[in-house]
A and B are shown apart, each in its own frame.
Chain A
């Protein structure tokens, strides 16, 4: 969606002036990371972000503050990512995504003993208040790094589910996998993400 008349363009320019160039650049960076994690293609991510910002700016006048604008512009971006992923041939079959599987067995051996009970250093400990943490920039840096380390297939399934609100059934269709496999991917993603968050943020000695 690009400004298609001079009135639109004018509104967009006015929008930029209202939000401020610095705030807009910050917003753009956040959006790019969000899109990049999911489409895994810099050019596509940039296009989706650009289109979303342009669409948002045309209505920037109606926003009281940057926070509201950010929430709204992210909702536009989420919809663009959803449309992108739904288009035929855009989501690749999970079987062709690399990185899942091989290291999985090894991974669970670090978590559970032969009977499936937690190993003592892997046993989950209680986390600090998430609401408080979510106000902290460092927390999000850890979160992004942990997401980035997820294997492709399980990362894809997790982000479709939790960022974009896809139902499990649709994830199965998009990734061409069975429901059982879909549950396995989501479980792996959560297990891995939890472990990563625990060492990067939840561990008492790092707080």
Chain B
């Protein structure tokens, strides 16, 4: 059984490379049982989405009135 710490590494690395089969199997098994890591994994995708939003200038100095600038780029 993989540790949560190891699972967080895999959740980051799956954004960089294709995980090997045993890694994927270990990850899937762990996620079935661990809500903390499930949240973590979802949040890795959110961070990517947010970072991409930031890089297209969605952070607005004028407050909340500005409509989002175009569609957000999806990972």
Bound Cα distance from A78 to B55, whole angstroms: 8
Are A130 and B63 interface neighbours, CB within 8 A? no
Is B26 positioned at the interface, with any CB of A under 8 Å from its CB? no
Report A90 CB to chain B, min CB distance, Å.
19
Are A191 and B8 interface neighbours, CB within 8 A? yes
Are A71 and B44 interface neighbours, CB within 8 A? no
Residues of B within 8 A of A73 (CB): 57
> What number of A-B contacts does a CB cutoff of 8 Å give?
136
Residues of A within 8 A of B67 (CB): 67
Residues of A within 8 A of B9 (CB): 183, 187
**Is the interface on chain A under 10, 10 to 19, 20 to 34, or 35 or more residues?**
35 or more
Are A134 and B50 interface neighbours, CB within 8 A? yes
What 0/1 readout, one digit per residue, does chain B (5-24) give for beta carbons within 8 Å of chain A?
A: 11011001101110000000
Report B17 CB to chain A, min CB distance, Å.
7
Bound Cα distance from A131 to B8, whole angstroms: 24
Q: In the complex, which residues 91-124 of chain A have their Cβ closer than 8 Å to any Cβ of chain B?
A: 108, 111-112, 115-118, 123-124
Are A163 and B13 interface neighbours, CB within 8 A? no
Are B54 and A116 interface neighbours, CB within 8 A? no
Are B16 and A193 interface neighbours, CB within 8 A? no
Bound Cα distance from A172 to B18, whole angstroms: 17
Closest B residue to A26 by CB, please name it: B61
Are B12 and A187 interface neighbours, CB within 8 A? yes
Are B68 and A135 interface neighbours, CB within 8 A? yes
Residues of B within 8 A of A78 (CB): 55
Is A194 positioned at the interface, with any CB of B under 8 Å from its CB? yes
Bound Cα distance from A33 to B16, whole angstroms: 26
Residues of B within 8 A of A117 (CB): 3-5
Partner of B58, one of A66, A68, A134, A164: A134
Are A71 and B57 interface neighbours, CB within 8 A? yes
Is B25 positioned at the interface, with any CB of A under 8 Å from its CB? no
Closest B residue to A158 by CB, please name it: B51
Partner of B69, one of A34, A67, A125: A67
A-contacting residues of B (Cβ < 8 Å)? 3-6, 8-9, 12-13, 15-17, 34, 36-37, 39-40, 42-44, 46-64, 66-70, 72
B-contacting residues of A (Cβ < 8 Å)? 23, 26-27, 29-31, 33-34, 66-68, 70-71, 73-75, 78, 108, 111-112, 115-118, 123-127, 130-131, 134-137, 140, 143-144, 158-159, 161-164, 168, 182-183, 186-187, 190-191, 193-194, 197-198, 202
Sorted from nearest, which 9 A-B pairs have the closest CB atoms? A116-B3, A140-B59, A162-B51, A116-B5, A74-B57, A124-B39, A123-B36, A187-B12, A163-B55
